[in-house]
Amino acid sequence: MKLRPLHRRLVASLALALSAACSSAAPPPPAEAPPPAAAPAPAPADGADSPTGLLSEEDFKALHQLRSDKAPPARGQTVEVAGTKAYLSLPPGAKAPLPGLVVIHEWWGLNEHIKHWTDRLAEDGYAALAVDMYGGKVATTPDDAMTAMKAVDEAKGIETVRAAHRFLTTDARVAAPRTGSIGWCFGGAWSLKLAMNEPELDAAVIYYGRLVTDPAKLKAIKAPVLGVFGNQDKGIPPEVVNEFDKALHEAGVEHEVLRYEADHAFANPSGERYDTKAAADSWERVRKFLAAKLKGG
């Protein structure tokens, strides 16, 4: 059968269309968009992961100037605690048992001013043991102090302050029935750490140390806590102190928080930013707190 010209053209057109349809590739699926980049973790609101709190290292160093005057001669003795040297000062003429205090230095290290302050605590009737968190190093410049502070190992530091506590309870010269801790700035943070890690501690004094504001972590504290802070402190500002106060309430920790119109380091034994009025008032309240918790009156 012969196809007419019109039919031949129709058949050819259909064949061409079918061929094109079969040979055309399907369009590729749209490429998946890459997942959005993870947002950087916000800095902790309380500066908990920074040794300088909410301040930069340079701003923190500016707040700490080593006093230039000499401390009175030390009258205590060097003892060994957990493989490091410590400074023990006993009340003149007193015998064991004695209430004990772990004294934790500022960021300068265990210098002569800290030893003098330890002697002052001994004059109040305590066996005062000043630990050395820097392994014998004493800083004289802010840069050296910053380096020493950042080099402290957390686990080793906790063992050092706990070993100091054990020394006070087991050494025959002390045999402390009650124990407390006190520290300034860097030492204030470690006074809090000791309270969180030593269930046998009976009192803890924290002078503007880096804080923990998680109630779950603070629940480990069994000792009453006295915190001393300056409202002008930009490293540990009032809002962070308020969070700490609230967290201690939620954790069920007996505590008191003192606030002064003063800056950071206003009562540091080795510092030049000493605020005489705030330091004197806070010291009297610290003495009353320690006497009530460690002497029973």
Q: Does the residue 225 lie in any domain? A: yes
Position 49 scores a pLDDT of: 63
Q: How far apart are CA 44 and CA 154, in angstroms?
A: 19
**Residue span of the structural domain in which 234 resides:** 57-295
Q: Report if residue 187 sits inside a domain.
A: yes
- Mean pLDDT, the chain, as a whole number? 85
Question: Residue 142, Cβ neighbours under 10 Å: how many?
Answer: 19
In total, how many domains does the chain have?
Answer: 1
Residue 126, domain member (yes or no) = yes
Assigned domain for 44 exists: no
Sorted by sequence, the CB contacts under 8 Å of residue 181 that are 6+ apart come out as 101, 102, 103, 104, 161, 165, 191, 194, 195, 201, 203, 204, 205
Q: Exposure pattern of 224-257 as b/e (b: 16+ CB <10 Å)?
A: bbbbbbbeebebbbeebbebbbebbeebebebee
> 238 falls in which pLDDT band (50, 70, 90)?
very high
Per DSSP bridges, beta strands 225-230 and 203-207 are parallel
Look at 146 and 7; give whichever has higher pLDDT.
146
Q: Tell me, yes or no, whether 46 lies in a domain.
A: no
Residue 24 maps to a domain: no
End-to-end CA distance of the chain: 127
180/71: higher pLDDT? 180
CATH number at residue 179: 3.40.50.1820
Mean pLDDT, residues 179-194: 98
* Token pair for 161: 């302050």
The mean pLDDT of 90-105, rounded to a whole number, is 97
pLDDT in tens, 43-80: 344 455 666 767 788 876 666 667 677 888 999 999 99
Residue 291 covered by a domain: yes
Going by the DSSP 8-state scheme, the letter that residue 66 receives in this structure is: B
In a domain, 169, yes or no: yes
pLDDT over 90 (residue 39): no
